[in-house]
Amino acid sequence: MVPVRALLLSTYELGRQPFGLASPAAWLRRAGVEVRVCDLARQQLDEPAVREADVIAFHLPMHTATRLALPVLDRVRAANPSARLAAYGLYAPVNGTLLRARGVEGVFGAEFEGDLVRFVTGAADATRHESPGPVRSSPATSGRPPQPRADAIPRLAFIVPDRDGLPSLDRYAALQEGSTRRVAGYTEASRGCKHLCRHCPVVPVYRGQFRIVPPDVVLADIRAQVERGATHVTFGDPDFLNGPAHALRVADAVHREFPALTYDVTIKVEHLVRHSAMLPRLRETGCLFVTSAVEDVNDRILALLEKRHTRADLERAVEACRSAGLALTPTLVPFTPWTTFNGYCGLLQTMAGLDLVESIAPVQWSIRLLIPEGSRLLEVPEVRARVRPFDPTALAYPWTHADPRIDQFQREITALVGRSLIAPPSEVFAQVSALAHERAGLATRPRIPDRGRGARGASVPYLNEPWYC
């Protein structure tokens, strides 16, 4: 009997070797499927594999990946009209209507592996988790595709990802420590998130739930990457401390087997404060830095986003990380419907005052609030008043600021940052600050504390991939 042939495609995963190909590849190969994988961020589209495939599936973990996938979807559909098409990942179910209109049959979101196997192998219940929830209508959301219910998320018996067929790790984003470049891997110790931040793409799919991956599975995946040259690993969990005890078990197990291996994690400001006593243990087990979605320092904006932290909490988190010997790497959303010139300058002043400038990737100063399908931001009256109808090209609800000067300022910052992606953060910060204070009509600009650090990386480790969404 000829096995089913599947082609798994990834367009973008933040410069990492795609976990979103390695994990389903393992599941499908275990089911007897002949699997090919192709990372279009590092490889040309495998045309023979497209023509020979019975099923072609796209991993859509984020907005950029989904936009890049749409023209490829049309291309493979034209090259192989008989192939069944599928899409999986966070951005698949929220864009389900658009994807199905372009010929996609199977759309899978949270914990997709089992459903994808059923779809590829032709099992009768292949669509069980595609759209289990009822349509939720409101003035802002009428006409949206059905959204998954939280109780519809399956519980999987996780297996070790299979990275065979993917480009080598040294072709992906690396850890940069000063002038030293180290091969970096990627894994996940948990999925989903128990929090409901309004702007987060995890929320419409997981609805406040998360799943832990057994430590032995995580360790086996890391072991395979260390054997391929990794000396650093990124844990891609939306929040590494969603399950604190589990996180520490994983960190301890990894450190016992690989005491020289370093890693980085993502943790909410709220959890950095609540679990500050755990941070020294993370550092002892090899953690170098923590990425945290700070977003803003204006308490009203943070409340509207339901971030569950305040500016004062950020100050506590910075101190907790520094006391533990961990670098804190903030991500930001400085442009929202509530942004003001004074507020933007206040953000700059706060980050300089906390000595975080060298830890912030320049692109962060230009990030504009994204409102995709399913976003909880559409619950906010002030947002509904600013959005226009969903744009299927941008895959988002466009919005404009009440002050057109803010929108123009955001475009100027985007252009400035785009010309300076590899410049030291302090240099970009100085340019951004000068422009911001000029537009705000303010003479005083924040001074960056002189720590003798020079270019980014002299004392702050980071992953050398400049884009984040």
| pLDDT exceeds cutoff 90 at 267 | yes
| pLDDT exceeds cutoff 50 at 48 | yes
| pLDDT exceeds cutoff 90 at 425 | yes
Average pLDDT over residues 238-258: 98
| pLDDT exceeds cutoff 60 at 452 | no
CA distance 290 to 160: 25
Q: What is the pLDDT of residue 469?
A: 65
Average pLDDT over residues 376-387: 95
Q: What is the pLDDT of residue 455?
A: 37
CB 257 within 8 A of CB 224: no
pLDDT category at 252 given cuts 50, 70, 90 is very high
Q: What is the pLDDT of residue 468?
A: 63
Q: What is the pLDDT of residue 319?
A: 98
Of 31-45, 129-143, 151-165, 361-375, the range with the lowest mean pLDDT is 129-143
Average pLDDT over residues 152-171: 95
CB 63 within 8 A of CB 204: no
| pLDDT exceeds cutoff 50 at 272 | yes
| pLDDT exceeds cutoff 80 at 147 | no
Q: What is the pLDDT of residue 427?
A: 94
Q: What is the pLDDT of residue 456?
A: 42
Q: What is the pLDDT of residue 142?
A: 38
Q: What is the pLDDT of residue 224?
A: 98
> Rounded to 5 degrees, what are φ and ψ at 272?
-60, -35
Q: Which residues, including other chains, have CB under 8 Å from residue 112's CB and lie 6 or more apart?
A: 24, 88, 89, 92
Q: What is the pLDDT of residue 123?
A: 75
CA distance 313 to 325: 18
| pLDDT exceeds cutoff 80 at 128 | no
Average pLDDT over residues 422-434: 93
Q: What is the mean pLDDT of the chain?
A: 91
pLDDT category at 257 given cuts 50, 70, 90 is very high
Q: What is the pLDDT of residue 466?
A: 66
Using CA atoms of 117, 120, 125, 131 in order, give the dihedral in degrees to the nearest 10: 90
Dump pLDDT digits (tens) for 57-99.
999 999 999 999 999 999 999 999 999 999 999 999 999 999 9
Q: What is the pLDDT of residue 422?
A: 78
Q: What is the pLDDT of residue 7?
A: 98
Burial of 462 (0-12, 13-18, 19+ CB in 10 A): buried
More confident of the two residues 381 and 145: 381
